[in-house]
Amino acid sequence: MALYNLPAHELGNKLRKKEVSSVELTRGFLNRIAEVEPEIGAFVTLCGETALESAALVDAKIGRGEPIAPLAGIAGAIKDILCIKGVKTTCSSHILDNFIAPYDATVIAKLKQNDAVFIGKANMDEFAMGSTTETSYFKKTKNPWALDCTPGGSSGGSAASVAAGEAAWSLGSDTGGSIRQPASFTGTVGLKPTYGRVSRYGCVAFASSLDQVGPITRDVTDCALVLNAISGHCEHDSTSYNLAAPDFTKALTPDIKGMKIGVPKEYFGAGLDKMVEEKVRGAIKHLSGLGAEIVDVSLPHTEYAVATYYIIAPAEASANLARFDGVKYGYRAPGCRNLIEMTVKTRTQGFGNEVKRRIMLGTYVLSSGYYDAYYNKAMKVRTLIIEDFKKVFGKVDILACPTAPTTALPLGSMLDPLSIYMLDVYTIPVNMAGLPGISLPCGFSGGKPVGLQLIGRALDEMSVLRAAYTYEQSAGFHKTAAPLGGVSA
Amino acid sequence: MKYETIIGLETHVELKTATKCFCSCPAEFGGEPNTHTCPTCTGMPGALPVLNKKVVEFAIKTGLALNCEIQRYNRFDRKNYFYPDLPKGYQISQLFLPICRGGYVDIETDGATKRIGITRIHIEEDAGKLIHSGASISDSDFSVVDYNRSSVPLIEIVSEPDLRSPQEARIFMEKLRSILEYIGVSDCKMQEGSLRCDANVSIRPPEQKEFGVRSEIKNLNSFRSVQRGIEYEQIRQAAVLDEGGKVIQETRTWDEEKGVTHSMRSKEEAHDYRYFPDPDLVPFVAEPEWVAKIAETLPELPDARKERLTGRLGLSAYDASGVIARLATADYFDEAMKHTGDAKAVANWILGDISAWLNSNNLEMRDFPVAAGNISAMINLINKGVLSSKLAKTVFEEMLKSGKAPAEIVREKGLEQISDAGALALAVEKIIKDNPKSAEDYKAGKDRALGFLVGQVMKETRGRANPEMINKLLREKLS
Amino acid sequence: MKVSAQEVQYIAKLARLEIPEEDLALFVRQFNDILGYAGMLGKLDTEKVEPTAQVLPYGNVMREDAAGTPLTQEEALSNAPAQKDGGYLVARVMEGGGV
C-alpha cells in the first residue's frame, strides 16, 4: 500500500525505525497533493515549504537519537478555521481571504510541541456554516469516493484530504456534526470530543456553546493519538475543562464484553436511507456479536433538536460574526464614503448567502420582542434534550446510531436550506448536550461509505474509542482506500 | 411654571487593575496607540475572554461600600451593536444579573443628610478610542481607532432617581468619588475618563405624581459639568413645557464650551442590543465566604472618618467635610495628627495655605511636597511660642522650597520668636523714645497709635517679637 | 408568525447587511420556512424548564490580575486594511459623503 494511504501511527513506526524520513514522507504527501488536488480541491492554502522545514527538524531529532512524539514528522491538514501564526486563516470566506493569523490556536501550539507537520489549510463551508463544503467562497471539494459527490461538511476539506491520501490526519471542528458527518461521507474516522475537552482558543467561533475541535483520521488509533495531542486545559479558554486528559490510547483494547450499547429508536425514523439503516443495524449486530449488550432506548426530544439548533447556533453566530466589519482585518469594501456604508458593504460583499441567512436568523431571534419566543424557548428545549441523554446514560454506556441519514450526496443537489439542515439530524443533539461522538465506517452503499455513530457520556471518550476500536479491528472497513473517481454517484 | 427636577445618574468607573477585564494586557492609561492590545481585546477571530478575578473583587468591594446586596450567581451577557471602537461588535456586560443590587449613599445637602438609592452595579468592559481627523466628529473625513482602552474593566453604578437638583447630583458624584478613592478601586480621574457619568433628567409640575419624560445627558466629564449640564437641561425642559411642547425621550450630549446640550439624533435606528448570555464565559458564584473576606479589606469609609474627626478630635462638621473629601487629604491629616495634638490647626493649614498653594499650582494633595510631620512640627513650634503665626508663613514657604524641617529653618534664619521680657523691654523703650508723638497720642486716648508702635517694635525685631508681650509691655510703659 | 419583507429589511439593517431587492423574495421565503419549522418548539410545554446557555457545570473560571505581553503595534496592525499614526484608519463616522 502506498505510504500516503497508511495511518499516522504506522508512518510514525516507520520514522522511528528509520525506514523513511519525515522529509521523504512530507514530499510524498506533497506529490500526492500535486497529483490529486486538482480533482479533490481539499485545500485553501498549502504550506509545503514550512512543512518540509518542520519535517527536517524532526529528521534531525531522529538523527540525534532523541525520542519523538507519536505524531512528530507526520503531515496533517488543518481546517482553515484554526489560526496558525503567520499563515492565512480564511474560514473559506471572502471576508477573511487576506487574514494572516498573528497567533497560534491552542491546538496548533500543542501540535507544534508534538513536532507535527502542517501540510495545508483545509477547505470548509464558509465559517463552518453548511453540511456540504459547498458554501466555501473558494472552491467545491469533491468526495474521493465519488467525485461528483460532496465530502460532507463543514469540515469537508479535512475529511477529503485524509480520504484522498493528501494528509495522514486532519483537524476539523464540529458545531452540529461538521466532523462526524464528513467522516461518515468519506469513510474516515471523525471524533467530536466532549465540549470543553479541547481548547477553542484560536478556533474562529461559529456557535461558542457548541463548537468543538477534533480529529478526522484514517483509523481509531490515529484518532486517539491526535486527541492526546490536542486535549487538555487551556488558560485562554474559560470553557475548557480544568482537568488532565487521560491517555486515550489506553482505550485501544478490543474488548467490549458487557458494555451496554443503547440504540435510540428516534435515530431510525423517517428520512433515514434504507441502505444506511441496513449497514448501521448490521454494525450494531456486529457489536453485539463482539460481546456488547444491546438495549433499545428512547430520546423523545430528538425531533426538536434541529429546530433548537437553528435558533441557538445562528443567535451565537450573529454576535460572533459581528467583528467582521472591515475595521481591523480582512476584507474592506472599497470606495465607501462613510462608516455605515463601509460596514454594510464590507459585510454584504464579504459574506456568502448562507452566512448572511444565519446572521439574519440569529439577529431576528435575539431581537426585541422575539427573545422569549425563540431564543429563550430554544435554551429551554436544549435542557430537555440534555435530560433525555442523562436518563438514557443511566441505563447504557454508549449509544449507537447512524451518523447521517444518507451517504454522500451529489454536488449541487441540495438547494433548499432546510433540507440541508436535516442532514445533521443525528449529530446535532450530541452538540446540544456537549457529549463526545465518533463516526467510523461500517460499510458501503453504492460504493459510498456509511458511517456508524457512537455517542458517550460527557468526558467518557474512552468508552467511545474502545467500542469504535473493537468494531474497527473486527470489521476492517478502515482498510479500504478511496478509489478516487472509480465510483460514480 | 416651577417644576421639580428628577435626576438619576449612571456612573462609569474604570477599575484600577493591573490588567484588562478579559485579557492580560496592561490596563494603565496612555501608551502609544495600539500597544496595549492582544487578539482578545482587538476582537481577532478565534480569541476568547477570561475573567480577571480582581475585577470581581473590586466590584464586590464597591457594592459593599455602597451598602448593596452582593448577588451569589453571576453571569455575563453580550450587548450587540456596531461601532468601530467596539472590536467584537458586542460589549461584554451584565444585563440580566448585575453583581450588586439595592444599596445607598448618604449625602449632605443643606446641612441635612439625604439617602440616595443605588439600583445596581454591574461589570462591563470599556470600548477603545476613536480619534477624529477634524475638530469634531462631523468635521472629520476619517478617524483612527486605538484599542488601548478596549476591554479595560468598568463598573457601572446606577442610582435611583432620588436626586432633586443639579447641586445634589454634583454632591452625590463627589461623595461617590470619595468612597471609590477610599476603597482603592479606581483613580477616579474625570479628565482621563476613569470616572464619568450620564444623567437621566426629567421635570414635573410639583403636584404631579409620575415622572416626566426624561432625556439622557452624556459627556459630563467633570463635577462642574455634571451640575451645569443638568442645570441647562432643567431650564431647557421647562421652556419646552412652558411653551406647551412635549419633552421627547432622547439622548443629548453636553457641550462644555457652549454650555448647552445637543440632541444626538441618531434615533432613526432603534437601539436593539439583542442581549444574550455570553457563551464564552462561564457563570461565576460569589460565595458568602469570599464576600466576607473582601469585606474585611474595606478601610474606614468617608462617613466614619468624618465622625472620628468631629467626635474625638472636635473638628467642626464643615472642616471635617473638607478634610475627608479626598483620600490623600484625609490621609495627610491623619499622618500630621501622629505628630501633634492640635487637630484644628492641622485642618486650618490643610484647608487654608496648603489648599491655596495646591490650587495656585494646579496640583493635587498627593503631589504636595512637604511631609505631614513637618507641618505638625511647625504647628507645635507656634503653640510653644517659639514661632509666631506670622513668621510661620515664611517657614511654610521655606519648607516648600527646601523641604527642611521647620526647627532647622527657624534656627538658620533666626526666626525664633523673642519672648524674653528683658530683651523686649529694651526694644519697647527704644521705640517709645524714637516715636514720642505716637506715645503721646496713645496716652491721649488714641488707641490706634498703639498699633503703630507694635508695628515699629516688630520691625525693630525683624518680626520675631512676641506680639502679645509687646502689647503688654507697651501698655505698661505708657500707662 | 409570518415575517414580512419589511421586517427582514429591518433585521438586515440591524445586522449591517444589505439584501438586494431581487433576492428579497427568496430570502423572505427561506426565512419563513426556517422559522416556521422552528415553530414546532411551541408544541412543548417548557413552563417549568430552566434554560441552558451552556452545557456543563463549571466552578469559577478566573485569572489572576497578572500582566502578559501585549502585541506590538506592528503586530496588532499587521492585518489592518488601512492604518494611520499607529491606529486603524476608518471612513468618516458620520453619515453623508466625505471628501
C27 touches chain A (CB under 8 A): yes
The DSSP element (H or E) to which A33 belongs, if any, is helix A22-40
Instruction: Report domain extents, chain B.
Output: 4-293, 300-413, 421-478
* Residues of chain A contacting B276 with CB distance shorter than 8 Å: 315-316, 319, 366, 371, 375
Nearest CB to B48; choose among A207, A209, A236: A236
Residues contacting residue B100 through CB under 8 Å, at least 6 positions apart? B59, B60, B62, B63, B66, B68, B69, B70, B71, B118, B120, B121, B122
Name the pTM for this structure. Answer: 0.93
Confidence of residue B421 (pLDDT cuts 50, 70, 90): confident
Q: In this complex, which chains have at least 3 CB pairs below 8 Å with chain C?
A: A, B
**Of residues A149, A152, A185, A184, the one with CA closest to residue A411:** A149
Q: What is the pLDDT of residues A73-127, one digit of tens each?
A: 999 999 999 999 999 999 999 999 999 999 999 999 999 999 999 999 999 999 9
Q: DSSP letters of B385-452?
A: TSS-HHHHHHHHHHHHHH---HHHHHHHHT---B--HHHHHHHHHHHHHH-HHHHHHHHTT-THHHHH
CA distance B440 to C67: 81
Q: What is the pLDDT of residues B100-118, one digit of tens each?
A: 999 999 999 888 999 999 9
DSSP state of B117: E
CB B202 within 8 A of CB B213: yes
Question: Above 70 in pLDDT, residue A162?
Answer: yes
Helices then strands (H, E): number in chain B? 16, 17
Q: Tell me whether residues B46 and A239 touch, CB distance under 8 A.
A: no
Query: What integer best gives the mean pLDDT of chain C?
Result: 90
C41 touches chain A (CB under 8 A): yes
Residue C1's pLDDT is 61
Q: How far is CA A82 from CA A350, A433, B220, B232, in A?
A: 19, 23, 44, 54
ipTM (interface pTM): 0.96
Nearest CB to B45; choose among A204, A366, A367: A204
Residue B363's pLDDT is 93
CB B255 within 8 A of CB B261: yes
Span B265-288, mean pLDDT? Answer: 84
User: How far is the alpha carbon of C35 from chain B, nearest alpha carbon, in Å?
Assistant: 18
Quick one: closest CA in C to B278, which residue? C53
Q: In this complex, which chains have at least 3 CB pairs below 8 Å with chain A?
A: B, C
CA distance A110 to A105: 9
Q: Tell me whether residues A204 and B48 touch, CB distance under 8 A.
A: no
Residue owning grid cell 475543562: A241
Mark A440-465 as b/e (b = at least 16 C-beta within 10 Å).
Answer: bbbbbbeebbbbbbbbbbbbbbbbbb
* Percent of chain A scoring above 70 in pLDDT: 99
DSSP state of B300: -
CA distance B468 to C6: 91
Q: What is the pLDDT of residues A293-344, one digit of tens each?
A: 999 999 999 999 999 999 999 999 999 999 999 999 999 999 999 999 999 9
Q: Is B425 exposed, middle or buried (CB count within 10 Å of its CB: 0-12, 13-18, 19+)?
A: middle
Residue A485's pLDDT is 53
The DSSP element (H or E) to which B267 belongs, if any, is none
Bridge-based pairing of strands A75-79 and A117-122 is parallel
User: How far is the alpha carbon of A214 from chain B, nearest alpha carbon, in Å?
Assistant: 16
Query: Facing residues of B101 across strands?
Result: B69, B120
Nearest CB to C30; choose among A326, A338, A357: A357
Residue A54 has, within 13 A of its CA and on its CB side, a CA count of 24
* Residues of chain B contacting A204 with CB distance shorter than 8 Å: 45-46
Bridge-based pairing of strands B215-220 and B195-204 is antiparallel
User: How far is the alpha carbon of C42 from chain B, nearest alpha carbon, in Å?
Assistant: 20
Query: Facing residues of A378 across strands?
Result: none
Residue B267's pLDDT is 46
- Phi, psi torsion values for A395, nearest 5 degrees: -110, -30
* Residues of chain A contacting B89 with CB distance shorter than 8 Å: 319, 321-325
Q: What is the pLDDT of residues B122-149, one digit of tens each?
A: 999 999 999 988 777 777 788 999 999 9
Residue B400's pLDDT is 95
CA distance B73 to B98: 9
Span A174-197, mean pLDDT? Answer: 98
The DSSP element (H or E) to which C90 belongs, if any, is strand C87-91
Residues contacting residue A462 through CB under 8 Å, at least 6 positions apart? A246, A248, A250, A251
Describe chain A by its helix, strand, coil percentages, rounded to 5. Answer: 45, 15, 40
Q: What is the pLDDT of residues B355-374, one digit of tens each?
A: 999 999 999 999 999 999 99
Q: How far is CA A438 from CA A102, A219, A451, B470, in A?
A: 32, 11, 9, 104
Question: Above 90 in pLDDT, residue B339?
Answer: yes
B426 vs A154 pLDDT, higher one: A154
Catalytic residue set of A: 79, 154, 178
C61 touches chain B (CB under 8 A): yes
In CATH terms, the fold of domain B421-478 is Arc Repressor Mutant, subunit A (1.10.10)
Span B379-384, mean pLDDT? Answer: 92
- 3-state class (DSSP) for residue A132: coil
CA distance B124 to B21: 8
Q: Tell me whether residues A239 and C58 touch, CB distance under 8 A.
A: yes
* Percent of chain B scoring above 90 in pLDDT: 75
Question: Above 80 in pLDDT, residue B208?
Answer: yes
Q: How far apart are the first and last CA of chain B?
A: 69
Instruction: Report domain extents, chain A.
Output: 3-261+395-479, 303-381
CA distance A439 to B335: 72
Interface probe with A: pick from B20, B266, B276, most Cβ of A within 10 Å = B276
Q: What is the pLDDT of residues B3-32, one digit of tens each?
A: 999 999 999 999 999 999 999 999 999 899
CA distance A470 to A261: 13
A239 vs B476 pLDDT, higher one: A239
Q: Tell me whether residues C54 and B279 touch, CB distance under 8 A.
A: yes
Residue C98's pLDDT is 40
Between 3.30.930.10, 3.30.360.10, 3.90.1300.10, 2.40.37.10, what CATH number should domain A3-261+395-479 receive? 3.90.1300.10
Question: Above 50 in pLDDT, residue A444?
Answer: yes
Query: What integer best gives the mean pLDDT of chain A?
Result: 96
User: How far is the alpha carbon of B128 from chain C, nearest alpha carbon, in Å?
Assistant: 11
Q: Tell me whether residues B141 and C77 touch, CB distance under 8 A.
A: no
Nearest CB to A201; choose among B48, B145, B270: B48
Q: DSSP letters of A75-112?
A: EEEEETTB--TTSB--TT-GGGTT-B-SS--HHHHHHH
Residues contacting residue B410 through CB under 8 Å, at least 6 positions apart? B381, B386, B387, B391, B395, B416
Beta strands in B140-257 (DSSP E): 142-146, 153-159, 195-204, 215-220, 250-255
Residue owning grid cell 453485539: A288
Span C54-83, mean pLDDT? Answer: 92
Query: What integer best gives the mean pLDDT of chain B?
Result: 92
**Given strand A43-46, what is the order of strands in its sheet?**
A43-46, A117-122, A75-79, A169-174, A212-217, A189-192, A437-445, A448-456, A398-402, A260-264, A293-297
Question: Above 50 in pLDDT, residue B166?
Answer: yes
- Phi, psi torsion values for B179, nearest 5 degrees: -65, -45
Interface probe with B: pick from A328, A361, A374, most Cβ of B within 10 Å = A328
Residue A488's pLDDT is 36
Which residues in B have their CB inside 8 Å of a CB on A? 39-40, 42-51, 78, 80, 82, 84, 87-90, 143, 145, 270, 272, 274-276, 278-282
CA distance B142 to C92: 4
Interface probe with A: pick from B280, B281, B282, B284, most Cβ of A within 10 Å = B280
Residues contacting residue A148 through CB under 8 Å, at least 6 positions apart? A142, A410, A411, A488, A489
* Residues of chain A contacting B43 with CB distance shorter than 8 Å: 323, 328
Q: What is the pLDDT of residues A349-379, one digit of tens each?
A: 999 999 999 999 999 999 988 999 999 999 9
CA distance B404 to B395: 9
Residue C97's pLDDT is 47
Interface probe with A: pick from B21, B44, B144, most Cβ of A within 10 Å = B44
Q: Tell me whether residues A102 and C78 touch, CB distance under 8 A.
A: yes
Residue B440's pLDDT is 85
Residue A489's pLDDT is 34
Residues contacting residue B286 through CB under 8 Å, at least 6 positions apart? B56, B60, B70, B71, B72, B74, B99
Residue B423's pLDDT is 81
Residue B315's pLDDT is 95
Q: What is the pLDDT of residues B389-404, one digit of tens each?
A: 888 999 999 999 998 9
CA distance A76 to A161: 9
**Highest mean pLDDT pick, B187-201, B261-275, B424-438, C67-81:** C67-81
User: How far is the alpha carbon of C30 from chain A, nearest alpha carbon, in Å?
Assistant: 7
